[in-house]
Amino acid sequence: MPYIAKTITSPHNDEVKALARLVQYSRDRRKEGVMVLEGIHLADACLLAGGALPRVYLNEATAGKEEVGDLLARLPDGCVVATLPESVMAKVTGLACAGELLALSPRPQPDTPPAQAPRVLLEDIQDPGNLGTILRSAAAAGVYDVFLSKGCVDVFSPKVLRAGMGAHFALRIHEHADLTAELGHFSGRKLVTHLEGSSSLYGHDLSGAVAFVFGNEGAGVSARLLAQADARIRIPMPGHAESLNVAMAATVCLFERVRQLETIASSGQG
């Protein structure tokens, strides 16, 4: 057994109280430099991406599951695995029902991306589900750099991690970014979603170096970022809707880029 096993039985244990604070409060996660992974899927995605799991909290009721045993067998030497009663796990988790485990992993510190790398810039996205979905779409579309303004919800919160379904571990996520400065440094085309003074998404060449900018759910993209755009783009909507949810809009834009790249590849132009 390469990991260090221990048992915690009391909900009043100091370590359990600290874990509950990490699940609930972003300030505690930032202070400790960690993220909390809830469930087998996220812990497995972290390990597959080469991430570290220095501490795992195991639900005693599910400890005998085969997939739990498989994950424990892959933990590195020195990892601490604490087994907790299901009643204690239920008090800690943010889920309706306690999952198989909770794991702590260091918040990543990504390298600066190449100047021509396509990217997504997010300004003050507040809904965890929206943010996680955007990350999942970016990873699926092969756009691996995501920059988030200081006003965004904590990208490594348990809710965003669950919505991202492992996408966090495929991306370079740049927190608390100065989006104005990032756009100033970027040498490719800068496209901002905006309804007024905009042109159709489908009329733009997205195959090269491109930065997509998406704004807050209510306020949209700020004037200072709009001023830096090479183009304002909109998604044509012939039906009865004024706008799309920001996560849906981001997904449409990202996969229009995929479509254009596929068209170029199939025609032999790439």
Distance CA 81, CA 225 (A): 46
pLDDT at residue 269 in the model = 63
Per-residue pLDDT tens over the stretch 76-114: 889 999 999 999 999 898 787 888 999 999 999 898 888
Which of 114, 106, 27, 99 has its CA nearest to residue 67?
99
> What distances in angstroms separate CA 255 from CA 137, 220, 252, one per listed residue?
8, 21, 5
Per-residue pLDDT tens over the stretch 175-187: 999 999 999 999 8
Instruction: Specify whether the CB–CB gap between 237 and 218 falls below 8 A.
Output: no
- Residue owning tokens 């440094």: 185
- Residue owning tokens 């759910």: 217
Which one-letter amino acid corresponds to residue 235?
I
Looking at the predicted structure, is the pLDDT value of residue 124 above 70?
yes
Per-residue pLDDT tens over the stretch 9-55: 999 999 999 999 999 999 999 999 999 999 999 999 999 999 999 99
Instruction: Specify whether the CB–CB gap between 17 and 92 falls below 8 A.
Output: no
Residue 147, strand partner residues = 121, 174
pLDDT grade, residue 267 (50/70/90)? confident
Q: What share of the chain is helix, strand, coil (3-state, %, to 5)?
A: 40, 20, 40
Distance CA 231, CA 21 (A): 43
- Segment 248-258 shows an average pLDDT of 97
- Segment 145-168 shows an average pLDDT of 96
Which of 167, 143, 144 has its CA nearest to residue 155?
167
255 three-class SS: helix
266 three-class SS: helix
Length of the chain: 270
pLDDT at residue 242 in the model = 74
pLDDT at residue 241 in the model = 75
Q: What is the mean pLDDT of the chain?
A: 93
* Domains contained in the chain, CATH given: 4-106 (3.30.1330.30), 119-268 (3.40.1280.10)
Q: What is the DSSP string of 174-232?
A: ETT--HHHHHHH--SEEEEE-STT-EEGGGS--SSSEEEEE-BTTTBS-HHHHTT-SEE
38 three-class SS: strand
pLDDT grade, residue 238 (50/70/90)? confident
Higher per-residue pLDDT: 268 or 58: 58
pTM for the model:
0.92
Distance CA 34, CA 116 (A): 30
pLDDT grade, residue 270 (50/70/90)? low
Encoded tokens for 262: 């596929």
Q: In what order do the strands lie in the sheet with 4-7?
A: 4-7, 80-84, 55-59, 101-106, 34-38
pLDDT grade, residue 240 (50/70/90)? confident
Calculated CA dihedral for residues 38, 164, 120, 263, nearest 10 degrees: 150
- Segment 189-206 shows an average pLDDT of 90
pLDDT grade, residue 1 (50/70/90)? low
- Segment 110-127 shows an average pLDDT of 93
Q: How far is CA 89 from the centre of its chain?
A: 24
